[in-house]
Structure 1
Amino acid sequence: MSMFGKVEFDEACKELDEPQIEDYEFFTESHDVRIYRLYNDQSGLYTYKIYGFMKDVEPDICAQVYMDLEYRKTWDTYAKELREVQEGDKEGIYWQVNYPSYLFMSNRDYVYMRQYRVIEKDGKTIHCVLTRSEPFGNEPERSGVIRVDDYLSYSALTSDGQGGTKAFMKYYDNPKGNIPTMLINWAAKTGVPGFLSQMQTACKGYPKYLQSKQTT
């Protein structure tokens, strides 16, 4: 069962060489990452577009690491619970995110559908991962955890031509609750570059992780 069409995959691929940022404002730049944002009048939050590079990591490895839930639990310190879920012929992901204790805020959790495609375009191989929140009847909301039910991300990865990865991500979620704008801005400015840095390290360690699984 799929909830994404060709148009959405094409949209993600196009962003790698032709950033669609006419309506977006520049937000921040850190190392090899530039972030733009678009205000959402209904929620008072922002949709983000992230453009960046991960050096010395090939895009196919990045895609494998992004898709490997078990491996992510070993390197993503904010992933409290992460697993596949199924309801009939509908398959998805359950993800609970740890909020640091010093924030005195409830954890958030997500239930979403995810689709991965490898697309050949203009002589390039592009790895695309699209996700969007989707209710699953067998994954009800939990006491003490806030369910994020308005979430999407589009990601596209391709070679930078120098042994690294050129990456794009479009991201939006509504975490609900009375979260200060200052905190949301801080998370966007530091969290995204920090996650990409973590992922880059995880990609470099992925072959060793796979080897360790084969020997156990």
Structure 2
Amino acid sequence: MEVRFSEDRFQEAWQELDGPELSGGWQLFTETMGIQIYRLYDEQTGLYQYKIYGNLADCPADLCADVYMDLDYRKKWDQYWKALQEVESEDGVIYWEVKYPFPLCNRDYVYVRERRDLDINGRKIFVILAKSVTSPNCPEKSGIIRVNGYKQSVALESDGKSGCKVFMYYFDNPGGMIPSWLINWAAKTGVPNFLKSIQKACNGYKQYKQQKSS
């Protein structure tokens, strides 16, 4: 498989756990439930890039990484998925359709991802990177808007207790005529709610795996 992500991307992601890199215009957007969300205006698209810092209690870092990577399990806990499957197993290409509220059209993504379990001077850190790609197996569909420019970085490390520290970088261009207030609302409420869903999913993962294997 071709190299999708540079070594620098993995290094940059885990280093954010040691201290936010906020130079260049990043501004605090909102803080809720111990989660800080920063944003940076992207002049090319008129949209914002986001960085999220927080903690997930009772959610070990390795478990959180496993849950994050498990596509079948995501169908159990993510209420917004409409379609989710690996379409090119050799190259790890994933197709994902997301439900949007009426009257907006659903969005879909075609992306690749890579997970690395790092040992940084004895620290166990889990990094997952994802980005949009094009695939002949995933042509655009009528009535669904294809999201381009999707980029995500996630870094996870034990918080020294029973949970983990989380860093997430996120950007996508949802396309279409979505009002800015809705995008802002989604960023302010959607990210904390997503992390809460991940936390709940971690708590139920052991039972899910047992049921699946029985």
What TM-score do the two structures reach when normalised by structure 1?
A: 0.96
Q: Which residue of 2 aligns with 1:95?
A: 96
> What amino acid is aligned across from residue 96 of structure 1 in structure 2?
E
- 1:49 matched to which residue of 2? 51
Partner of 1:176: 175
Q: Runs of 5+ in structure 1 lacking a partner?
A: none
Partners of 2:202 and 2:137 lie apart in 1 by: 33
What is the CA–CA distance in structure 2 between the aligned matches of 1:10 and 1:93, rounded to whole Å? 24
Alignment match, 1:32:
34
Aligned counterpart, 2:72: 70
RMSD: 1.0
Q: How many residues matched? A: 212
Aligned-partner Cα distance in 2 for 1:173–1:157: 21
- What are the Cα deviations for residues 55-109 of structure 1, in whole angstroms up to 9, with x where unaligned? 011011100000000000010000111111218x5321110000123xx100000
How far residue 149 of structure 1 moved from its aligned partner, in angstroms, is 1.5
* Matched position secondary structure for 2:178: coil
> What SS does structure 2 have at the residue aligned with 1:203?
helix
**Partner amino acid for 1:75?**
W
Q: What is the alpha-carbon distance in structure 2 between the residues aligned to residue 71 and residue 90 of structure 1? A: 21
Q: How does 1:147-162 map to 2 (within 5 A)?
A: 147-162=146-161
Q: Among the aligned pairs, what percent are the same residue? A: 51
Q: Unpaired segments of 5 or more residues in structure 2? A: none
| Corresponding position: 1:19 with 2:17 | no
Letter in 2 for 1:57: C
Kindly report structure 1 stretches of 4+ aligned residues shifted beyond 3 Å. Answer: none
> What residue number does 1:128 align with?
127
Letter in 2 for 1:78: Y
Match in the other structure for 2:202 = 203
Q: TM-score, normalised by structure 2?
A: 0.97
Note the C-alpha offset of 1:6: 1.0
| Secondary structure class of the residue paired with 2:176 | coil
